Amino acid sequence: MTYRSGRHFLQIPGPSNVPDRILRAMDKPTMDHRGPEFAELGKTVLAGMKQIFKTENPVVIYPASGTGAWEAALVNTLSAGDRVLMCETGQFATLWHGMAAKLGLDAEFIGGDWRHGVDPQAVQQRLSADSDHRIKAVCVVHHETSTGVTSDVAAVRRAIDAAGHPALLLVDTISGLGSVDFRTDEWGVDVAITCSQKGLMMPPGLSFNTISAKALQASRTAGLPRSYWGWDEMLQHNARGYFPYSPATNLLYGLKEAIAMLLEEGLDNVFARHARYSEATRRAVRAWGLEVLSLVPSEHSNVLTAVLMPEGESADRLRAVILEHFDMSLGTGLNKLQDRVFRIGHLGDFNDLTLIGTLAGVEMGLSTAGIAHNKGGVQAALDYLAEVAASGQRSQ
């Protein structure tokens, strides 16, 4: 590989770009994880994550990727053979459903077309029909990273309540948290799941569960085997700022900085920034004459945009051309969307010029790859950003 000057554009929908402030925060000697200094760090990040999750409940942090936190949510709350209700929003919901089956759960899947979010009515109907309450948990993916479609978690909670059903609500907000509003307590989420490499602007390696009182109660009788993922020991140690095993100390230094940055900017400003960039991206896509995969405007993701290729064109070839010529990585299409879509990540540490650079890379890539499109996508995004700036919203 030869040296490529300038910064690589990492515009996949996570891992997202790690800002220099976080890189510098992690560049420290690893400390004694049983010493007093660590307890301070532990308490600070555990309390900080409650603010990001908008919860008063405990948060636990695993030295693991998001998949580990999915498993933790299931094995802590459920027993072999328990029925769980899941919704096929895309590849990540499909993987989580597969995991539930592997763990010995009776995992029911409400089918979907990968272009819509969870249908709360379908959830309500299914729960209403479950009169003997065999369904123990409803599991939904808040931001389906494979499709760029969001689900309305508050509406799912209302559906569960309207059915008068006691099932737990487990929510994967892996690509949403830290970029898009998520209200764990207000929405009645029993376990929220996330990880470090998306909106939290960190490298991969940390993942999280929030634990409601009801989820904690369920964990006392849940029968699935667990050891590493067990909440009980984790919570006992966390009470004093420690972990039951070696924590990912240097990633926690980074997390402390990431939380400080999000709170400094203000969560509402962070969310507004992502909403602006996603709208600008969709305007660019439409100006190119291409189609956004997400079909319902209220479900468009603010963290990524999946773009459908014109019939007969390969998304992977376009991505390869863009990587080769412009040193930018875009997200690949997953599973049945393989080669049909490319995904533009606009999450995490991102500003107007990063967005315009990203969209310029796509527009130049479409030309270089010889794919029929209209010019003017970047201009459409510029016009929108200028309009927003003129209307008085902060542009950064």
Binding site residues for substrate, as ranges? Answer: 343
Site for ligand PLP in 360-379 (CB under 6 A): none
Q: Which stretch binds ligand PLP (CB under 6 A): 16-24, 59-67, 217-225, 341-349?
A: 59-67
CB-based contacts of 374: which residues, under 8 Å, 6+ apart? 287, 288, 289
Residue 67 contacts ligand PLP per CB under 6 A: yes
Residue 75 contacts ligand PLP per CB under 6 A: no
Nearer to ligand PLP, 187 or 326 (CB): 187
Nearer to ligand PLP, 145 or 212 (CB): 145
Q: Residue 175's Cα: distance from chain center in Å?
A: 1
User: Which residue stretches of the chain are H helix?
Assistant: 20-26, 36-53, 66-77, 91-102, 120-129, 153-162, 213-221, 231-238, 249-265, 267-288, 315-326, 352-368, 377-390
Which residue in the shown chain puts its C-beta closest to ligand PLP?
Answer: 66
Rounded to whole angstroms, the Cα distance separating 300 from 45 reads: 31
| 62 within 8 A of 49, measured Cβ to Cβ | no
Q: From the CB of 259, what's the least distance to ligand PLP, in Å?
A: 19
Residue 145 contacts ligand PLP per CB under 6 A: yes
Residues 181-210, mask of contacts with ligand PLP (x by CB under 6 A): --------------x--------x------
Nearer to ligand PLP, 199 or 377 (CB): 199
Residue 92 contacts ligand PLP per CB under 6 A: yes
Nearer to ligand PLP, 67 or 368 (CB): 67
Q: Residue 126's Cα: distance from chain center in Å?
A: 26
| 227 within 8 A of 62, measured Cβ to Cβ | no
Rounded to whole angstroms, the Cα distance separating 384 from 379 reads: 9
26, 85, 174, 285: which one contacts ligand PLP (CB under 6 A)? 174
| 276 within 8 A of 352, measured Cβ to Cβ | no
Q: Residue 42 corresponds to which amino acid?
A: G
Q: Both tokens of residue 346?
A: 């606009």
Q: From the CB of 334, what's the least distance to ligand PLP, in Å?
A: 9
| 173 within 8 A of 182, measured Cβ to Cβ | yes
Contacts with ligand PLP: how many residues (CB under 6 A)? Answer: 12
19, 42, 66, 199: which one contacts ligand PLP (CB under 6 A)? 66
For 145, 153, 292, 360, the CA distances from 278, given in Å and listed in that order, are 14, 20, 11, 15
Residue 63 contacts ligand PLP per CB under 6 A: no
Residue 172 contacts ligand PLP per CB under 6 A: yes
Site for ligand PLP in 111-130 (CB under 6 A): none
Phi, psi (rounded to 5 degrees) for 12: -80, 160
Residue whose pair of structure tokens reads 């998520």 in the numeric block? 182
14, 117, 203, 247: which one contacts ligand PLP (CB under 6 A)? 14
Residue 313 contacts ligand PLP per CB under 6 A: no
16, 55, 89, 175: which one contacts ligand PLP (CB under 6 A)? 175
> 209-244: b or e for each residue (b if 16 or more CB lie within 10 Å)?
bbbbebbbebbeebebebeebbbeebeebbeebbbe
Residues 319-358, mask of contacts with ligand PLP (x by CB under 6 A): ----------------------------------------
Nearer to ligand PLP, 65 or 379 (CB): 65
Give the binding site for ligand PLP (CB under 6 A). 14, 65-67, 92, 141, 145, 172, 174-175, 195, 204
